[in-house]
């Protein structure tokens, strides 16, 4: 059975025409799903009953079931736990910042990268998510926000999984997030994060898209990076940076390099100096992320003065640098804390 939210408008028109129905019905279905907040085919009351029955027998909707929703104490972060049709679970996060409403989505159950500081990859990769399973994370959250006069306006692929290892599904989801008939979210408000899958980065640079691309760097050299990100053994840092440069050149978009600071591992001044040398002359931003604790991982967050000194060293070297304010740590919704769960 096909998933409704894996189909774009043209694909749905084609499917509906094959059922002997008028193609304009596709726009009605899209309106019910993405604008009116229908929770099932039964809600689509301006469609004939026999057509609704045909839809429900051939297309699955919804694909996700909300299991749990937790709000942070400051009210700025909400974590959602979703159950998939095969009973597996994934998480996503709503982040509120002034008038911005950002959803951090997952694209895989688990993660193949197994970064040393991250909970998502502790048990490896179980499977890819379908486009519908990605899209519906945003759909359900957007539906909640619309009830209070708000809407999702930014998407970041920074939840569970490596987006470049589920490339086709991620790109299909991006097209639906951007579609005027669906979410109407500008490509420039969509961010894809990768640990550095070179062929995926190169492929993305040829897509005629303008999404933001973020590299999970976390080390200033290949030797240290392989210790923090085992996946880095597949791709030399030099090749990754060349691919990132190509993406920036093709899309005219600045590149962001994320750097999780781990006490005593990659936070020394020599690392800051090496990082500044590595990125000198590049049109980029370094986003410093102090480590967020994960159960079972014996790593520590650097002291504040260490973080400040690291940032100042980069700024003095001419590197545009930000220090990410941690949100959602009290509900394990911060960067690196989304984990595989079982019912």
CA distances to 159, 249, 333 from 290, in Å: 17, 30, 14
Eight-class DSSP state of 325: P
Contacts of 142 (CB under 8 A, 6+ apart): 103, 151, 152, 183
The answer to whether the CB of 330 falls within 8 A of the CB of 337 is no
> Which one of 107, 111, 284, 335 is the catalytic residue?
335
Side-chain half-sphere of 179: how many Cα atoms within 13 Å? 21
335 is catalytic: yes
CA 320 from chain centre, in angstroms, equals 23
For the chain, first and last CA: distance in Å? 25
What distance in Å separates the CA atoms of residue 9 and residue 14, rounded to the nearest whole number?
9
Query: Nearest to residue 310, comparing CAs of 287, 326, 327?
Result: 287
Instruction: Note the maximum CA span of the chain.
Output: 69
91 is catalytic: yes
Residues, the chain = 343
Query: Nearest to residue 115, comparing CAs of 342, 341, 287, 335?
Result: 335
The answer to whether the CB of 5 falls within 8 A of the CB of 63 is yes
> Which one of 3, 91, 133, 165 is the catalytic residue?
91
Q: Does a cis peptide bond (omega within 30 degrees of 0) precede residue 248?
A: no
Give the Cβ contact number of residue 66 at 10 Å.
13
Backbone Cα Rg of the chain: 21
What distance in Å separates the CA atoms of residue 137 and residue 264, rounded to the nearest whole number?
37
Catalytic residues: 91, 335
């Amino acid at each position: 059975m096909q998933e409704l939210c894996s189909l774009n408008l043209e694909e749905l028109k084609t499917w509906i025409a094959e059922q002997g129905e008028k193609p304009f019905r596709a726009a009605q279905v899209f309106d019910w799903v993405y604008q009116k907040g229908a929770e099932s085919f039964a809600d689509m009351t301006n469609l004939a009953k026999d057509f609704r029955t045909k839809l429900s027998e051939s297309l699955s909707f919804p694909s996700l079931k909300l299991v749990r929703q937790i709000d942070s104490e400051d009210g700025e972060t909400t974590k959602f736990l979703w159950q998939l049709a095969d009973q597996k679970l994934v998480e996503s996060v709503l982040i509120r910042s002034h008038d911005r409403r950002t959803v951090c989505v997952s694209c895989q159950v688990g993660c193949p990268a197994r970064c040393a500081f991250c909970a998502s990859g502790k048990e490896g990769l179980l499977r890819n998510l379908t486009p519908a399973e990605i899209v519906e994370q945003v759909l359900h959250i957007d539906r909640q926000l619309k009830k209070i006069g708000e809407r999702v306006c930014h998407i970041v692929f920074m939840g569970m999984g490596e987006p470049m290892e589920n490339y086709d599904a991620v790109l299909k989801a991006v097209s639906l997030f951007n579609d005027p008939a669906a979410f109407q979210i500008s490509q420039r408000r969509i961010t894809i994060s990768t640990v550095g899958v070179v062929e995926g980065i190169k492929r993305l640079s040829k897509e005629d898209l303008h999404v933001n691309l973020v590299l999970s760097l976390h080390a200033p050299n290949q030797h240290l990076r392989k210790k923090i990100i085992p996946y880095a053994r597949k791709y030399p840092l030099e090749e990754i940076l060349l691919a990132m440069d190509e993406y920036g050149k093709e899309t005219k978009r600045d590149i962001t390099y994320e750097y999780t600071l781990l006490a005593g591992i990659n936070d020394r001044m020599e690392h800051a100096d090496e990082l500044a040398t590595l990125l000198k002359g590049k049109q980029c931003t370094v986003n410093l992320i102090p480590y967020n604790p994960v159960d079972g991982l014996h790593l520590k967050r650097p002291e504040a003065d260490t973080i400040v000194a690291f940032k100042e060293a980069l700024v003095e070297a001419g590197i545009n640098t930000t220090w990410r304010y941690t949100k959602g740590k009290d509900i394990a919704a911060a960067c690196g804390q989304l984990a595989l769960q079982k019912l």
